[in-house]
């Protein structure tokens, strides 16, 4: 995402329309302003917890992975970004 800004190790709060709430720290928060979108990318290692948040319509996308190779991570991130275009 060339127009997006990447933030490393970010504390995030996610609240959906029915007021369900999630909070935690993700490895990367990728933010795009036009149209506004956010991607929460997290690789879970020993001692870390899943955020367990859901995607929110077409504005917030969550990807949490564990036990993946570098190639698998790259492919899954690429797939998420491609699926959320438009």
Predicted confidence at residue 11, as pLDDT, reads: 95
Q: What is the pLDDT of residue 63?
A: 96
pLDDT tens-place string over residues 12-57: 998 888 898 999 999 999 999 888 899 999 999 999 989 998 888 8
Give me the pLDDT at residue 55, please. 87
Number of C-beta neighbours around residue 24 at 10 A: 18
Rounded-to-integer distance, Cα 45 and Cα 34, Å = 33
Contacts of 82 (CB under 8 A, 6+ apart): none
Band of pLDDT at residue 85, cut at 50, 70 and 90: confident
Is the per-residue pLDDT at 3 higher than 80?
no
Backbone φ and ψ for 64, nearest 5 degrees, come out as: -120, 130
């Amino acid at each position: 995402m060339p127009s997006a800004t990447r933030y490393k190790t970010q504390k995030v709060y996610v609240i959906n329309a029915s007021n369900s709430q999630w909070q935690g720290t993700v490895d990367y928060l990728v933010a795009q302003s036009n149209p506004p979108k956010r991607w929460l990318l997290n690789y879970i290692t020993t001692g870390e917890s899943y955020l367990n948040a859901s995607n929110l319509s077409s504005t917030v996308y969550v990807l949490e992975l564990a036990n993946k190779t570098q190639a698998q991570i790259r492919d899954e991130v690429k797939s998420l970004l491609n699926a959320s275009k438009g």
